[in-house]
């Protein structure tokens, strides 16, 4: 095994969503961290009422389970004309991305007001289950009438980003990162991670 790599501090991404893990690996690329996914088959009940509450629940549960630093993301799509649905139920709206998209488009069939936003709450927890950092980012857009594009994951093909004319699924990963709820939340989190990794006090407490 690569000696240098094995000495890196481990950071567990508290998610089993492959799309999110790919995005986080890219976002955390500059840091001397070994990014790993949460244990296979690990399940946490997301019973919070807000994205921030769910992010906290997941980060703490995964830190407790693994004994490592844990970064969670709770995110979802909120449609204004549906009173914010699917919101915190975004991943549970149906059984697959395709069915979730089809349910949402069905519910919006006769609705002209298509404004929506994505929200991402990020939470970093210490191996001792303390909350170290919490941030939130949003991205405004419109729900399209039909799916467009084949990149990304989740609701990407039906979310057209305001001012871009493109859905997330039509954008390259760099453009999505620059505009997305997760990219914006991460930009807020980054200085905090830098500060922690430069703190001898923090590092020696691990
Ligand atoms: P959770 O945060 O893992 O509970 O689930 C969030 C759900 O929201 C995902 O399963 C997706 O359906 C949706 N979602 C969150 N972020 C994105 C995104 O960047 N693109 C598309 N769908 C997203």
Domain ranges of the chain: 5-204
Q: How much is the average pLDDT of 95-104?
A: 97
Beta-carbon contacts of 110 under 8 Å, excluding residues fewer than 6 positions away, are none
φ/ψ (deg, to 5) at 42: -75, 130
Q: Which of 46, 73, 153, 177 to mutate for ligand 1's pocket (most ligand atoms within 8 Å of CB)?
A: 153
Average pLDDT value over all residues in the chain:
93
Structure tokens at 12: 């567990």
**Chosen CATH of 5-204 out of 3.90.950.10, 3.40.30.10, 3.40.50.360, 3.30.300.160:** 3.90.950.10
Report yes or no on whether pTM surpasses 0.85.
yes
Q: Ligand 1: which residue has its CA nearest to atom 23?
A: 154
**Pairing assessment for the beta strands 115-125 and 131-143 based on DSSP bridges:** antiparallel
Question: With contact defined as beta carbons under 8 Å apart, do 147 and 157 qualify?
Answer: yes
Look up residue 149 and give its two tokens: 């594009």
Q: Would the CB of 155 count as within 6 Å of ligand 1?
A: yes
Mean pLDDT of 147-157: 96
Lowest average pLDDT, out of 101-105, 163-167, 183-187, 202-206, goes to 202-206
64: which DSSP letter? H
């Amino acid at each position: 095994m690569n000696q240098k790599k094995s000495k890196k501090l481990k950071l567990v991404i508290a998610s089993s969503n492959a799309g999110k893990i790919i995005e986080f690996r890219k976002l955390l690329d500059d840091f001397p961290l070994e990014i790993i996914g949460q244990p296979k088959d690990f399940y946490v009940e997301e019973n919070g009422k807000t994205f921030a509450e769910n992010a906290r629940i997941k980060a703490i549960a995964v830190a407790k389970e693994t004994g490592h630093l844990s970064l969670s993301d709770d995110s979802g799509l909120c449609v204004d004309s549906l009173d914010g649905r699917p919101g915190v139920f975004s991943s549970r709206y149906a059984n697959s991305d395709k069915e979730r998209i089809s349910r949402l488009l069905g519910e919006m069939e006769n609705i002209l007001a298509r404004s929506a936003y994505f929200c991402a709450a990020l939470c970093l927890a210490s191996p001792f289950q303390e909350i170290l950092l919490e941030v939130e980012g949003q991205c405004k857009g419109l729900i399209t009438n039909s799916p467009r594009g084949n990149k990304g994951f989740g609701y990407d093909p039906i979310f057209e980003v305001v001012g871009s004319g493109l859905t997330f699924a039509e954008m390259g990963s760099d453009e999505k990162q620059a505009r997305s709820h997760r990219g914006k939340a991460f930009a807020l989190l980054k200085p905090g991670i830098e500060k922690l990794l430069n703190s001898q006090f923090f590092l020696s407490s691990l």
